[in-house]
Structure 1
Amino acid sequence: MTQARPLSLITGASAGIGAAFAHALATRGHDLVLTARRTDRLDALAQELSHQHGIHATAITCDLADPDGAEQLCATLAARGLHVDWLINNAGYGVPGRFDQNDWQVHADFLRVLVTAPTELAWRLIGGMRERRYGRIVNVASLAGHVPGTAGHTLYAASKAYMIKFSQSLALENQHLGVHACALCPGFTRSEFHDVTGTRPLVSKMPDFMWQDASAVVQEGIEAVERGDAVHVTGRFNRAVKGLFKLMPDRLALKVSAKQSKRYRAHE
């Protein structure tokens, strides 16, 4: 695999927002490295995009819950002589239920996938971007990182708030070298996320105007990181929600969040 085109590394690429990023960047002429735990889906997507767009897409199975996962992934890329121009830190999931109801290993794996691994991947890859004076890092965060935490899925909002602040600092440190970092913050997105967390029966009751398709989220994300935005909340409704909570006193915001979260969070 020789690198004649921009190369995008997408984590959690087998479905949802990750797969939508793969389609969108392949359309822009990027070669792709797709990673996730589901090899069959990755291979099928890589073959489909290579055939449709005349690019080179390769699948690398990787479990970012493994403490050595990010390092091994980057070592594989280096061994193939590949440098990453776009890093899409998308891999993620939710852990439903009350914090103490899950084993610590469940939480430890979650933190590796949603916090440690994306941070490590950025650290391992940004040096090359700075040297080449070009790079794009999209950290898929969430509207949840902008509003008060809720009961259930206890670490989810916290992890997304971290990614927002991390992206802001990365952007400030590197924008003068042509390296842009952006925290992409969608709200409810049509994907498998809620099926995996078991909250599909709850969220299916949410009105249609609160939802976005993954492709729309990705389009906004690409445009935002290209502009140099450090943070981008997708969709007018989600931006309105963020603005509303920002205006509320903390105590009121927490009460509102607690009441509304019962519509989409499983916490018992």
Structure 2
Amino acid sequence: MNAPASRWALVTGASAGIGEAFARELAGKGIHLVLTARREDRLTALAEDLRSRHDIRTETIAADLARPDASARLCEELDRRGITIDILINNAGYGVPGHYLAQPWTVHADFLQVLVTAPCELAYRLLPGMQRRGYGRIANIASLAGHVPSSAGHAMYAASKAFLIKFSQSLALENRDKDIRVCAVCPGFTFSEFHDVTGARAQVSTMPRWMWMTSEEVAREGWSAVERGDIVHVTGRVNRLIKTLIKLLPDRLALNLVQRRSKSYRVMDPQQGTAE
């Protein structure tokens, strides 16, 4: 069953990258959009562009999901505007570079709030309405990193993505008889601002082009997976091959392999002074 054009989607982290690409993908299907991120100017520009291109309704709500009350306030604002959300794209996220102790705990606490707590809370608050209406779609943007051994540096990133994968699996099984489809969409290396924010642009720029996907490719393939009813979907054939091969290796060998390759996509740790 395809999403009727009268439905609304909420996209977090919609101001750039995969979030923006998902917004464009859904807009092309005639779905109305609520876009949220911290950068209000970008949200406004995107909303106006999608509204004029696709003749849909768009709303913007600037929010910082690192705030503990942000998800509740966001849902309250949706209620105030009379908008019912049937499609949730939990995309907001970023990376914290360097070794675990290189950052104060408050930085890690904000990270967990955005990448773990906010997706769970938004699903918790929006699921009851989806269940009542007998229709829902939730895409939790996880990562290939959640499937492969983690390396030194970004200690909480892979862990948070592995959590989203397991969370999506349980949520999907709990709601599969209600026409509510939940999918952990797991991209690999994607052209976006992510690596600029983490300071790893110089490192990842040396990686071969065949390892990369565009945000648009990820969104297109990811949404198709959601509609098919896939519970976990790794985007791109190369990434699926990497996942399969890593699973076949003994844990120690897989860890060593990932650790050696991590120098291509980890930044220098200011505390340790080594490539991460």
Q: What's the TM-score bracket when you normalise by the shorter of the two chains?
A: over 0.9
Pairwise CA distance, 1:267: 5.2
Pairwise CA distance, 1:116: 0.2
Alignment of 1:5-44 (within 5 A): 5-44=6-45
Question: Are 1:266 and 2:272 matched, yes or no?
Answer: no
CA distance in 2, matches of 1:198, 1:49: 30
Alignment of 1:82-101 (within 5 A): 82-101=83-102
Superposed structure 1 runs of 4+ greater than 2 Å apart: none
- Aligned CA RMSD, in angstroms, stands at 1.0
| Percent of residue pairs identical | 61
TM-score, structure 2 as length reference:
0.95
CA distance in 2, matches of 1:90, 1:20: 11
Aligned residues: 266
Pairwise CA distance, 1:266: 2.0
Q: Is the 8 A contact 1:153 1:266 kept in 2?
A: no
TM-score, structure 1 as length reference:
0.98
Q: Is the 8 A contact 2:140 2:185 kept in 1?
A: yes
The aligned counterpart of 2:161 is: 160
The aligned counterpart of 1:194 is: 195
For residues 176-219 of structure 1, what are the alpha-carbon distances to aligned partners after superposition, in whole Å with 9 as ceiling and x for unaligned?
10000000000000000000000000000000000001011001
Q: Is the 8 A contact 1:98 1:267 kept in 2?
A: no
The aligned counterpart of 2:253 is: 252
Alignment of 1:44-193 (within 5 A): 44-193=45-194
Pairwise CA distance, 1:5: 1.1
- Which runs of no fewer than 5 residues in structure 1 stay unpaired? none
Alignment of 1:163-242 (within 5 A): 163-242=164-243
Pairwise CA distance, 1:4: 7.5
CA distance in 2, matches of 1:7, 1:252: 46
CA distance in 1, matches of 2:267, 2:163: 22
Secondary structure of the 1:14 match is coil
CA distance in 2, matches of 1:26, 1:40: 19
Q: Is the 8 A contact 2:5 2:31 kept in 1?
A: no
Secondary structure of the 1:245 match is helix
Secondary structure of the 1:149 match is coil
For residues 24-54 of structure 1, what are the alpha-carbon distances to aligned partners after superposition, in whole Å with 9 as ceiling and x for unaligned?
1001001000000000000000011111111
For residues 150-178 of structure 1, what are the alpha-carbon distances to aligned partners after superposition, in whole Å with 9 as ceiling and x for unaligned?
11111000000000000000110001100
Secondary structure of the 1:136 match is strand
Pairwise CA distance, 1:249: 0.9
